[in-house]
Amino acid sequence: MIRIMKYGETAVDEIFARSVPEVDVAAVVSGIIADVKARGDAALLEYCEKFDKVRLASLEVSPAEFDEAFAAVEPEFLDVLETAAGNIRAFHEKQVRQGFVMSRGGAVMGQKITPLDKVGLYVPGGTAAYPSTVLMDAIPAKIAGCGEIVITTPPGRDGRVNPAILAAAKIAGVDRVFKVGGAQAVAALAWGTETVHCVDKIVGPGNAFVAEAKKQVFGRVGIDMIAGPSEILIVADGNSDAQEVAADLLSQAEHDKLASAVLITDSMALAEAVQTEVERQVQLLPRVEIASASIDRNGKIIVTDSIDQAVEVSNALAPEHLELCLDNPFDYLDKVRHAGSIFMGRSCPEALGDYLAGPNHTLPTGGTARFYSPLGVDDFIKKSQFTYFTRDALGEVADKIAAFARKEGLEAHARSALSRFGEV
């Protein structure tokens, strides 16, 4: 049962506690990465047989498999994918940034924007398939202008990738898809194998092993963030509907036994009604075992003295998804400092953001919304600076460069500036 806590009367550690994996995955992941580095495709095929219970003849999805998958997806769902892709594209096109040039006297400086050459998108499999993640990760990369976009995702026991994932990949403009998941997929993207060539950056959510693998290969390649279990935090006033709030909490609880669902409200009556509704609704879910474990372990309802205090507690938690189920949500938007994605009002369930609205659903978790942002076009570009000075312009500042360098004890720096003017 989801717990009710009164803020100010419950230990702070209990209110702000987050679930962590029960096993230390670092050593396991380190071994997998080393094995993939050493043995390449052979290691990937063995891990696929071990973890995914299928023996593959080829790691890459063939053009024929793409065509078969696209034909197998219902036309009605293809229309849904196209609608979602259009909304995601329209939102992310607003994020495109331009370089700039500035000049003064004989000096010209600027910044140029360059898309990454090759990016790898990790798309989870296992207990569910996520074509939405394909769209959310691939479309910003496509808008950025990345040279090649590849996906790694676990195959099913039939040796095939879920048709909806392949249909989404085709709609989003993905170049290649590989049937490999887990830490071994991250290792392949970072170091390369005979079939899976290395990329410049790896993005996308995954389980604890995937997150740890991204952490361990960072520096060899770029990563978007180290994502943990999914989270939802709802700030709701007493006018909110308990049935709707409970349904939104469960929408994240069904993801993972480690997922967290939190309600913060200034109404004890709503808290008690939601507690009852969560217990009723969870039993109706196909993924009842997962959702129940999440609610029992990580679910909580925090009752505060006011909505202002509720927002303060939310900022301290810095949730992945934040719903403001309030009469006047825009009055509180500026008070929200830390949240991955914010859903405004009572008609904006988090599921809208997962699939169709347009803003990205690859988001910072575990409190990292304090310093990370949602995935976007900026994740798929890099910025370079350039500087040009005429000889006269350099002559005007050479003495200052030398003074600065000598203050730091770097005489060669000073001489490199002065050498243009016969002072070495």
Query: Where do the DSSP E strands lie in 123-255?
Result: 148-153, 176-179, 201-203, 222-223, 231-236
30 close to 216: Cβ distance less than 8 angstroms: yes
Q: What would the two tokens of residue 275 be? A: 């507690």
Q: To the nearest 5 percent, what fractions of the chain are helix, strand and coil?
A: 45, 20, 35
DSSP label of 330? G
Q: Which of 184, 186, 192 is nearest to 46 (CA)?
A: 184
Taking a C-beta distance cutoff of 8 angstroms, is the pair 89, 360 a contact? Answer: no
Decide: 72 and 163 in contact? Cβ < 8 Å: yes
Among residues 212, 254, 255, 321, the one annotated as catalytic is 321
CA-based nearest residue to 141, from 117, 166, 125: 117
410 within 8 A of 126, measured Cβ to Cβ: no
Q: Is 320 a catalytic residue?
A: yes
Looking at 21-74, list the stretches that DSSP marks H as alpha helix, in order from N- to C-terminal side.
Answer: 26-39, 41-51, 63-72
Q: Which of 320, 323, 350, 361 is catalytic?
A: 320
**CA–CA separation, 171 vs 165, rounded Å?**
10
Q: How far is CA 251 from CA 70, 230, 259, 325, in A?
A: 28, 10, 10, 15
Tokens of 290: 């997962």
According to DSSP H, which parts of 194-346 are helical?
A: 208-217, 242-253, 268-282, 288-298, 307-317
The answer to whether 231 and 314 have CB atoms below 8 angstroms apart is no
Q: Identify whether the C-beta of residue 350 lies closer than 8 Å to the C-beta of residue 321.
A: yes
CA-to-CA separations, 231 to 38, 208, 248, 311, 362, in angstroms, rounded: 37, 15, 11, 16, 12
> Where in the sequence numbering do the catalytic residues fall?
320-321
